[in-house]
Amino acid sequence: MSQHSVHIRYRDREVVVVAGYDRPLNDLFLQVLGHEDAPQATEEYVFYSSLHEPQRDWTDINTVSDKLTELGIAVPDSLLEAVYLDQLFHVGNRMVRHHIDQPPEVLLAG
C-alpha cells in the first residue's frame, strides 16, 4: 500500500490528509485525520474516510480529487499525481510526506 500525506489546516484545525493506493484491493483511499477540539485531546479523530462512502468509485483518481474539493481541502498537486502514478504502476510499500512550500519527502520506498 502506498501512503501520501500532507499536514494542512481544515476547519480551523491542523489535520493530516492521507491518500494512497492499496495494491491488493486495487483501490485508492482518502482519510482526513486530526484531533478533537477538546482540551488535551490525544486520540486521533477521523474527520473523513473513504470507507464511509463505498458507493463511490475509488478506482478513479478523480474521485479522490472530487472528494477533496467537496470537503474544501486543497492539497499539493504532487500528492494527487503521486497517488495516480502509484496506481498506474501498482506501487506498494511507499510513504511520502508532501508539503505546500517544498518538494515531497520520501519516507519509505520499497
pLDDT given for residue 98 in this prediction: 97
Query: What are the pLDDT digits (tens) for 29-80?
Result: 999 999 766 556 567 889 999 999 999 999 999 999 999 999 999 999 999 9
Q: State pTM to two decimals.
A: 0.90
Domain that holds residue 70: 2-109
Q: How far apart are CA 94 and CA 92, in angstroms?
A: 6
- The domain tally of the chain equals 1
Return the number of other C-beta atoms located less than 10 Å from residue 48's C-beta: 19
